[in-house]
Amino acid sequence: MESLVNRYRNLTILLLVIFAQFLLLAVQVKNDQDVRIIRVWTVTAVTPFARVVELLRGGSVGFIRNYILLHDEDAENRRLREQVGSLKLENIFLKNELNTAERAKALGVFQARIPSKTLAATVIGTGAGSNAKVVYVDAGSARGVERGMAVVTPDGIVGKVIAAYPTASEILLATDADFAAGVVSQDGGVRGTLKGQGTPLLKVDYVPISEKVQTGQWFYTSGDDRIFPRGFPVGVVQSVRDAQPFKEILVDPAGLRHGLEDVLIITQGVHQDIPPTPATDQPVYIAPAPPDGSKPDAPAATGAAPPITEADKLRQAYQASGEAQGHKFGSGESGPPNFTGLTTSLPQTPAPAAAPGAGPKPAPGVTTKTTDSTRHSNQANGEPTGSKQR
Amino acid sequence: MAYSSGRMLLSQSDGPVSRFRAWVFVVIPLLAILFQVYVPLFFPILSFLEMPLLVVVYLALTQRSQIGGLFTGALIGLAQDSLSKNPLGMFGICKTLVGYFAASVGVHFNVENTAIRMLLSFFFYFFHQFFYWVMQRMLLAQQPAFDYQSWLLFGALNAVVGASLFHFLDKLRATA
């Protein structure tokens, strides 16, 4: 037996090492827990080097631009060319500096504006896997970061802390397939679950087909997941499609749109209101009527109220018909006037410009009454009798 | 294989005997992992590079010790696991196997030739990706895409980078 083990020593050790790692893997998967100590060692060992590298990069970029590129230039032409080049680089450098300052300022303003307590952090590395949707930031448990805290930028949510080490924290980005969060539409009418897909776009799941969701609509955190406080922007709906059994809604994550350098970790979340939907029925300015009185029957020009609606016209037609029969409205002295045949002719009254004989011909009795009513109407408007028949 | 104080002896059956300084076994893997963590942050296009894998392949090939190779692979893989969101052991197991098989190849063949090194880098990249894909499906019950076209392309690119990297790392060997 011993000779057998000695003979296959290498293979035995290989199997033992593989078995040990399988065991490690099985324990983690079964208990859904990490072997934290190994990660702490590695992260604590690697992140200081990452910081040093970042410092060296920042310092060396400035050194190379400001010193080495301008060193040993004797030819005037070359010197000028390189000077222009270095000025361009400096310009880019200053623009970057300005961007950094503006970003820091925006972050500061945002930090002061929101009711939640936050901690600013800088991204110092990505996950080691080739499909990694995780990043490392330079704030860890020593600064109060805990697993499960939400990570945001002024533009929107970024992800959540999945591990907090003494010197750094690991952030699971919203685009990762394991990410999920509760969201609500801006008008508050549609609730769903935001899910990462491993692609740049996120998916809002569990929205019934009957709900109305439109492209361009904003989604905000709902606060239901107990990770993200309510009211943080998530993203804009890029596409909506009816699928079974729920709608298929894809959202462009606002927090990851412009790259990721500085983030805020929410150490103490406070729910806030979702900004109101911009009103679609905005008040419309209407200019005053032209003062020249170009319309002869305009109220301002005549001073009398013209028949505006069909009801007005109808009332005046009845009034004219009654007066033509000698009836005095409101006195109660005479019997009711005879309106027989008047109602059938009324819908045909608006034809003042029609040539005589043109169009359907009303009954003879009705024609008289209609003419009377038109006359009365014209009189009320201050026009000469029969002017509309001209 | 023999060890002297502060230096690790690398025997070559048909070539000159070379030594690796001990610090190489710490610094090179650390730099490879730093590269993997840091560089894609500024150059996302370079995220296809599997520097830790290339380092495992190189160290295993040149050590020509199967036990050394598998432990090198296991340690670098576990370190890589620690910096990813996956459970510990995924990269560890893959790289353990890569280290063991690379060292086995190094024992039987002359691996100083650049073309052979490129071929081995390509093969081990594909093997690594495929085995990782299998483990994701079998052990983690995930459904990753079987993107063999990307693996072939990235394997070729890693082989090209690997050849240059191996040439550079050869300079760290001190010929006795």
ipTM: 0.81
pLDDT, residue B58, reads 92
* pLDDT tens for the 390 residues of chain A, in order: 667 667 788 888 999 999 999 888 888 888 777 777 788 888 888 888 878 887 888 788 777 766 666 555 556 777 777 778 778 878 877 887 777 777 777 777 777 777 888 888 888 888 877 666 889 998 999 999 999 999 998 889 999 999 999 989 999 999 988 899 999 998 877 899 999 988 889 999 999 888 888 889 999 998 888 889 988 899 999 999 888 888 899 999 988 887 788 888 998 888 887 777 544 444 556 676 776 654 444 444 444 455 567 777 777 888 888 888 877 777 666 677 777 766 555 554 444 444 444 444 444 434 334 444 444 444 444 443 333 333
Q: Does B133 touch chain A (CB under 8 A)?
A: no
For residue A157, the SS3 value is strand
Q: How far is the CA of A107 from the CAs of A94, A146, A338, B88, in angstroms?
A: 19, 21, 82, 35
- Where does the pLDDT of residue B176 fall: very low under 50, low under 70, confident under 90, or very high at 90 and above? very low
Mutation pick from A15, A124, A126, A169 vs chain B, by most beta carbons of B within 10 Å, is: A126
In chain B, which residues have their Cβ closer than 8 Å to the Cβ of A168? none
End-to-end CA distance of chain A: 128
| Beta-sheet pairing, A247-253 with A233-242 | antiparallel
- Give the residue numbers spanning the domain of A22: 11-113
pTM of the model: 0.53
How high is the pLDDT of residue A358?
40
| Cα–Cα distance for residue pair B155/B48, rounded to 1 Å | 9
The interaxial angle of helices B114-139 and B51-63, nearest 10 deg, is 120
Candidates A17, A126, A170; nearest CB to B74: A17
Mean pLDDT of B54-75: 91
Instruction: Specify if A190 maps to a domain.
Output: no
Residue numbers of the domain that contains B163: 3-175
> How far, in Å, CA of B45 to CA of A52, rounded?
23
Question: How many angstroms away from the CA of A239 is the closest CA of chain B?
Answer: 24
B60 part of contact set with chain A, CB < 8 Å: no
Which residues does chain A have within 8 Å of residue B38's beta carbon, measured at their own beta carbons? 50, 53-54, 124-126
Test B89 with A54 for CB contact under 8 angstroms.
no
Element (H, E) at B105: helix B90-108
Q: What is the DSSP letter of A341?
A: T
Nearest residue of B to residue A259, measured between CA atoms: B41
Which chain B residue lies closest to A132 (C-alpha atoms)? B84
Burial of B22 by CB count in 10 Å (0-12 exposed, 13-18 middle, 19+ buried)?
Answer: middle
Three-state secondary structure call for residue A279 = coil
pLDDT at A20: 92
How confident is residue B111, by pLDDT bands cut at 50, 70 and 90?
confident
The domain total for chain A is 1
| B139's tokens | 């052990």
Please name the amino acid found at residue A57.
R
**Is residue A74, in this structure, part of any structural domain at all?**
yes
- Residue B34 and residue A28: Cβ atoms within 8 Å? no
User: Which pLDDT value is given to residue A204?
Assistant: 92
Q: What SS3 state is found at A269?
A: coil
Identity of the residue in B34, B74, B140 whose CB atom sits nearest the CB atom of A21:
B74
Task: Name the helix (H) or strand (E) containing A220.
Answer: strand A218-221
Long-range Cβ contacts of A55-62 (<8 Å, 24+ apart): A61/A93, A62/A93
In this prediction, residue B134 has a pLDDT band, given cuts at 50, 70 and 90, of very high
pLDDT in tens, A369-390: 444 444 444 444 444 333 333 3
Contacts of B93 in chain A (CB under 8 A): 18, 21-22, 25
Nearest CA in chain B to A26: B139
Locate all alpha helices (DSSP H) within chain A, ordered by sequence: 2-7, 9-31, 36-66, 76-113, 299-302, 310-324, 342-345, 364-380
> What average pLDDT does the structure give for chain B?
84
Query: What is the predicted pLDDT for the residue at B121?
Result: 94
Does the beta-carbon distance from B41 to A35 stay under 8 Å? Answer: no
Q: State chain B's maximal CA–CA distance in angstroms.
A: 51
Eight-state DSSP code of residue A249: E
CB contact under 8 A, B82 and A39: yes
Contact A34 B71 (CB under 8 A): no
Question: What is the predicted pLDDT for the residue at B7?
Answer: 39
Whether B89 and A21 lie within 8 Å, measured CB to CB:
yes
- State how many domains chain B has: 1
Residue A84 lies in a domain: yes
A387 within a domain of the structure (yes/no): no
Chain A residues touching B82 at Cβ < 8 A: 38-39, 41-43
DSSP state of A208: B
CB pairs under 8 A between A and B: 121
Contacts of A23 (CB under 8 A, 6+ apart): none
Q: Which residue of B has its CA nearest to A198?
A: B144
- Whether residue A22 is contained in a domain is answered as yes
Cβ atoms of residues B172 and B127 within 8 Å: no
Cβ–Cβ contact B105 with A under 8 A:
no
Task: Tell if the CB–CB gap between B84 and A127 is shorter than 8 Å.
Answer: yes
- The CATH number covering residue B80 comes to 1.10.1760
The DSSP-derived string for A169-205 is EEEEETTSTT-EEEEEETTS--EEEEE--SSSSEEEE
B interface mutation test: which of A18, A52, A169, A199 has the most B CBs within 10 A? Answer: A18
Per DSSP, the residues of A101-121 read HHHHHHHHHHHHHSSSEEEEE
